[in-house]
Amino acid sequence: MAPIVLALGLGACHGAEATFRPYDIRPSAVIGQGGTHETVKGIDLWTSGDPPRRYQVIGTIQLAGRASPEETLADKVREAGGNAAIRVMSYKDDQNSTPVRVAALQADATYYVVKYLD
């Protein structure tokens, strides 16, 4: 199955672009341990840890841009059919593009899109 790529550029409104890519895996559930998150437009955005419930990863979202990504990310998660996003990595070291972990929502980051199963 060829991946479907959706791009959303909000230009001057938010200054962030989000690209969704489906995650191909045999259906399986993960039970999270908890962490920190905020809810934006009914979508849980996890900055550390993961949801303390059963969920399945359905794709990834790559954010690019300089402005606050919360609304762009929440809209893209909803379009993809997810309930939440879990930050995977953030690219903040411009010298060598090394992924680093930071405890905040970031533009220029990758997020798992997850669907709750309970």
Q: Say which amino acid occupies 8.
A: L
Q: Could you tell me the residue ranges of all domains in the chain?
A: 6-116
CA 60 to chain centre: 6
pLDDT tens-place string over residues 15-28: 567 888 887 777 78
- Position 115 scores a pLDDT of 96
- Position 11 scores a pLDDT of 34
Closest CA to 108 of 21, 40, 15, 5: 15
pLDDT tens-place string over residues 51-84: 999 999 999 998 887 666 899 999 999 999 999 9
- Position 92 scores a pLDDT of 54
pLDDT tens-place string over residues 37-56: 999 999 999 989 999 999 99
